[in-house]
Structure 1
Amino acid sequence: MLYWALVFLVVAIVAGALGFGGIAGASAGLAKILFFIFLAFLILSLIAGFLKR
């Protein structure tokens, strides 16, 4: 999932550099959402790992 967040971030940067504002905004928003979902899964995984011990 982090891979897809980085892919959408790169797409947003390239689209922004080429002047495609709508595509850049949508890709950046999607990258941000995927990043926070990944972060939530990471935190849940860490908590589950500490509770198993």
Structure 2
Amino acid sequence: MVEFLSNKQVVRYGAPSRTELERYFVLDDVDREAVQAKRRAYNRLTGAVGLTSVR
């Protein structure tokens, strides 16, 4: 797994579990439908990145 938290951050916040990471950074069917409905083919990736970053 990629280490993205410092040791100090892990102590303070705890390390996120795989389930927590997937909840925030993996799009489910509902998310994909929202991206499909609101974005055109040329900017769907931007919509998906935006959706996961605001969570």
* Larger relative contact order, structure 1 or 2 (CA cutoff 8 Å, min sep 6): 1
Give 1 or 2: higher helix fraction.
1
Q: TM-score, normalised by structure 1?
A: 0.28
